[in-house]
Chains A and B, each alone.
Chain A
Amino acid sequence: MYGTGPTGPADAGGPAPVDAPTPAGTSAHPVMTTRIALSGPTGGRARLDVAGGALSCRRLPDEDGTVRVALVATQALLLAGDHVRIELDVAPGLVLEVVEITGTVAYDMQGGRASWDVDVQVGAGALLVWDALPFVVATGADVTRSARVELAEGAVAVLRETFVLGRTGEAGGLLTTSTHARLAGRPLLVETLTVSPESRRDPALLGGARCLDTVTVLGARYEDDAPAGADVLQLDRPGTLVRTFGTDAHRGDLAVTVTRARAAVSPSVVDVGSESTAVGGPAGSGRTLDGGGRTTGTP
């Protein structure tokens, strides 16, 4: 069996410094790895290999060439000592959509810590869509999250992350979350954020927001409409952050952004959901190779 309950000795030490290496599992708290690998010839029958850790995988019916996998928690998450790891590997030319059934609450860890690491590889011309449900940081939680995304040339990932500070009426705990994305071997997005009551109070960090909702498009530019009040940040190389600062984790504001981004980067994929009227951006927007302003010389 994987994982342990909330018992066991708490890890020593204070809050992790920013950019701290992710704590590895220990013998008492092994890393619980969920692996999803999609392979096969482009246009052929895709082969899906899954191995479940704390999250098990259920294959859903394909939709228009998109292989869909649901992540289902097999145990209470996220508790002190839990080290969740999710590995996704999408072979060239294929489309994988990861669906979450429930959000995740990082509970009071009573001095302990937990980690949640995602490692993504997207092959040339492949697309990964992951519209994650809210990640709630309860008071007393101390979590380090990381996402490493390696995109081959022409690969695209559309990822959503919603961080919520505290359950209703709670101040919330500490989350340090980092994203390291590379496109064709060069840095695309490197960002470390701290979600905590202190960063919520800081006008320059979260500016009072309890909820930070981000759609990250990597390998393509999102140039379609964004919800009113959303910030749209075009990265230097092909990629876009669409971000809202909210007071609660109401779903929906950026859900349409995920749908539109996906439509824009994969014209062959037709969404059958309620937002099927959404139109994508200009065809092929961003599927172009890197045109990011290289402005440096060599000494």
Chain B
Amino acid sequence: MPALAATRLRTVTATEAGAAVVARHRWLDRRDLAPVADAWAARTPSPAVRDAARRLGRGYLRLALALWPGDLAGAFAPGSAPPRPLVAGAIGAVAGLDALQVALLVGYDDVQTIASAALKLTPLDPATTTRWVLDLHPAVAQMAASVAHLTDPDDIPSAGAPMTDAWAQAHAGTTRRLFHG
């Protein structure tokens, strides 16, 4: 499990964190986020992964609109489902987070998600999974530092994880689903 999280940090999570950092930058510049969405989608070949990111993005957006209505009102089309990294970047901007903090947040969230999922699947002591998360902090920090400077959608990392994409599709297609996304 820790190895999986570490691989994700080098691949799909770096893409998501990079997209969030660039989204934050463009938001602060009052620029269109569509190129960030395009860049993220082109780097996310699995429809199951994209669908999950948009479901999560919609949830994040609902929460963010309640917390920062003045800042976010009208930012996204009503009923739209922007992918999570776009919303994470926008939230980072309005909450006053810097680029590195946004990237750390995305990295930590992915690691913690895996740790939480592991507890649901295997009879582990929660202290064990908490230790994983702590031990992965250097990898999270390294990933965040590698994307914090990004401002151009074309520069968002694109390292893929082919078998992860295959799992995502298989999981989305199964009738015995355990998780959303």
Contact = CB atoms under 8 A, between A and B. Distances in A.
Contacts of A192: 157-160
B118 interface: no
Contacts, number: 125
A207 interface: yes
Contacts of B43: 190-191
Given A295-B37, A295-B80, A299-B27, A19 B158 contact: yes
A245 B39 contact: no
A190 B166 contact: no
A210 B24 CA distance: 40
Size category, A interface:
35 or more
A241 to B, nearest CB: 5
Contact of B33 (A188, A204, A297): A297
B121 interface: no
B162 A205 contact: yes
B33 A234 contact: no
B76 interface: yes
A191 B159 CA distance: 6
Interface residues of B, number: 49
B169 A231 contact: yes
A294 interface: yes
A243 B166 contact: yes
B100 interface: no
Interface string A267-298: 00000000000000000000000001111111
Interface string B138-181: 00000000000000011001111111111101000000000000
A145 to B, nearest CB: 14
Interface of A: 18-19, 178, 181, 186-194, 202-207, 209, 212, 231-237, 241, 243, 245, 292-299
13 contacts: A187-B153, A187-B154, A193-B160, A204-B164, A205-B11, A206-B162, A296-B82, A296-B86, A297-B74, A297-B77, A298-B34, A299-B33, A299-B75
